[in-house]
Amino acid sequence: MKRGIFTAVAASLILSLAGAAHAAGDGGHESGGKKVTGTDSYLPMDTLTATVSQNYRVRGVLQIDAGLEITDSRLRARAEAMRPRLRDAYTAVLAEYVGGAYQPGRAPDANMIGDMMQAATDRTLGEDGADFLLGMVMVHK
């Protein structure tokens, strides 16, 4: 019993410290002009997650890494300004996917996720021109 309480307290402390470091930093994005890719048209997104559940129990966490390829500088600036709205739309899409289409124990359908995310991108930005690029899809158990 004491071991479980200690583990829970330690985990919450670690998560709160990580959250504080994230908030005090640059939000997980590189600072000082460091680029992730060799192109200015790529806009990286923070890692997105959704909880996978079945029969009222947590079965895992779906995690994706992605970004947007936007060649139009005006649209790229708009996407950067709308990053919180894009993240909200992507989180809703992942929740919809794990709540309906995904079956725990099977590999996630990257094509379906990509199509759903592209539709959310176009809907949120209000126009075409931003390509959603899916870098990684995995389920942690």
Query: In the chain, where are the structural domains located?
Result: 1-33, 35-140
**Amino acid at residue number 95:** A
CA distances from 66 to 21, 42, 47, 102, 105 (A): 22, 10, 7, 19, 23
| Domain 35-140, architecture per CATH | 2-Layer Sandwich (3.30)
List, for residues 112-125, the tens digit of each pLDDT value: 999 999 999 999 99
In 25-138, where does DSSP find H-type helix? 73-81, 83-96, 110-125
pLDDT one-digit tens code per residue, 60-95: 999 999 999 999 999 999 999 999 999 999 999 999
Asked if residues 87 and 48 have their Cβ atoms less than 8 Å apart, the reply is yes
**β-pair partners for 54:** 57
pTM of the full structure:
0.73
State the Cα angle at 39 between 38 and 43, rounded to 5°.
115
